[in-house]
């Protein structure tokens, strides 16, 4: 599968590192407006995942990574990228700027066959969560939104608990700071997001509940969501409070989640009762790691805690998508 990556931020760079190690996938090109020398540096040295051992070098429009040679572009407009000449099968759209159908389609017009976003796209793009509804993919589908890291964590929880019956669900995701925050106080349309990321616990607005209502229309008006950015560079913890339609016990809830981790959600959901913290999840490939030791139940009110690596777990589902789509 011939793949191009558009946008070399946190997700784009981690995908580049990981896809170099994947069989059956060839990265033929990357596109980002940053200086290519700076890009090569950021690919080699990463503050979260450490130094990349594969030798990297940039020279005259190409990035050499080990034995692979990847074309490098600095084009603002995807329409002007040579995807047709490079016979690109799929573009990983990781810039965060081309998330509507019209904008993502620029990659198709440039000659790519398919586009996979690295975020939740606009409502005119199919939202498909790997492990939940990827089977809705059709031969005619050319653009897919795989949701974001929080959606990939939350979707599977709602699906499992909906088998019991949900009256309401409140998601609070404690999430590492991101590039959309500031190191020192400054202006931002969301005032609190403009505060120094390393100094405060910062609540931010997220559209998680809207994505979940698309996936679970029967729960419309019954889901709320909040994300709080915390002063760590990686890792997240989803705190889900549910009101179920019937009482349950802690043992019943944990059995439901552990069984799912061992069967239908194996590889996507992990279950543990060890006393882990966020750092222990770094590099974990699962979309969520249920912490059964923190499950609490009072009557029909349930609280479940799930950890996830917001970068590594998410890129693992992107890679799953590549192989799944290539087989269709």
Looking at the fold, whether 173 and 271 belong to one and the same domain comes out as: yes
Task: Cite the beta strand spans of the chain per DSSP E.
Answer: 2-6, 26-31, 45-46, 50-51, 56-59, 62-65, 68-73, 90-93, 114-117, 126-127, 143-145, 166-176, 202-204, 223-230, 236-244, 269-272, 288-291, 296-298, 301-308
Looking at the fold, whether 39 and 153 belong to one and the same domain comes out as: no
The CATH number for 63's domain is 3.40.50.720
Looking at the fold, whether 81 and 156 belong to one and the same domain comes out as: no
Residue 120 pLDDT exceeds 90: yes
- In this prediction, what percent of the chain has a pLDDT beyond 90? 97
The boundaries of the domain holding residue 80 are 2-118
Looking at the fold, whether 101 and 175 belong to one and the same domain comes out as: no
Residues in the chain: 328
pLDDT at 312: 98
Establish if 129 belongs to a structural domain.
Answer: no
* 165-196 pLDDT tens trace: 999 999 999 999 999 899 999 999 999 999 99
- The predicted model scores a pTM of 0.95
- In this prediction, what percent of the chain has a pLDDT beyond 70? 100
Mean pLDDT along residues 17-28? 95
Name the token pair of 42.
Answer: 């950021």
Catalytic annotation present for 153: no
Name the active-site residue from 104, 106, 143, 149. Answer: 149
Looking at the fold, whether 29 and 175 belong to one and the same domain comes out as: no
Residue 52 pLDDT exceeds 90: yes
Looking at the fold, whether 182 and 102 belong to one and the same domain comes out as: no
Domain count, the chain: 2
Looking at the fold, whether 109 and 153 belong to one and the same domain comes out as: no
Mean pLDDT along residues 144-167? 96
Name the pLDDT band for 205 (thresholds 50, 70, 90). Answer: confident
Looking at the fold, whether 181 and 237 belong to one and the same domain comes out as: yes
* 232-263 pLDDT tens trace: 999 999 999 999 999 999 999 999 999 999 99
Looking at the fold, whether 243 and 288 belong to one and the same domain comes out as: yes
């Amino acid at each position: 599968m011939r793949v191009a990556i558009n946008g070399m931020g946190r997700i784009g760079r981690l995908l580049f590192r990981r896809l170099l190690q994947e069989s059956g996938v060839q990265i033929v090109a990357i596109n980002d407006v940053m200086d290519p020398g700076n890009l090569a540096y950021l690919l080699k040295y990463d503050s979260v995942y450490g130094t990349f051992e594969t030798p990297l070098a940039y020279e005259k429009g190409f990035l050499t990574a080990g034995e692979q040679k990847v074309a490098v572009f600095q084009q603002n407009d995807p329409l002007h990228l040579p995807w047709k000449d490079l016979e690109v099968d799929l573009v990983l759209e990781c810039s965060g700027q081309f998330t509507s159908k019209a904008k993502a389609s620029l990659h198709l017009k440039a000659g790519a066959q398919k586009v996979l976003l690295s975020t939740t796209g606009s409502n005119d793009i199919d939202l498909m969560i790997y492990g939940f509804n990827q089977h809705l993919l059709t031969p005619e589908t050319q653009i897919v939104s795989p949701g974001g890291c929080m959606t990939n964590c939350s979707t599977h929880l709602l699906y499992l608990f909906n088998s019991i019956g949900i009256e309401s669900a409140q998601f609070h995701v404690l999430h590492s700071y991101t590039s959309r925050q500031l190191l020192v106080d400054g202006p931002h349309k969301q005032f609190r997001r403009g505060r120094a990321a390393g100094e405060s616990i910062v609540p931010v607005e997220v559209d998680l509940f809207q994505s979940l209502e698309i996936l679970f229309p029967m729960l419309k008006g019954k889901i709320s969501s909040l994300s709080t950015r915390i002063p760590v560079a990686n890792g997240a913890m989803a705190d889900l409070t549910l009101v179920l339609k019937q009482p349950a016990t802690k043992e019943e809830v944990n059995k439901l989640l552990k069984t799912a981790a061992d069967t239908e959600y194996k590889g996507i959901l992990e279950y543990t009762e060890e006393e882990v913290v966020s750092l222990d999840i770094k590099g974990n490939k699962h979309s969520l790691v249920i912490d059964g030791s923190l499950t609490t139940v009072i009557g029909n009110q349930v609280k479940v805690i799930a950890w996830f690596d917001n970068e590594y777990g998410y890129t693992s589902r992107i890679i799953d998508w590549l192989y799944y789509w290539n087989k269709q």
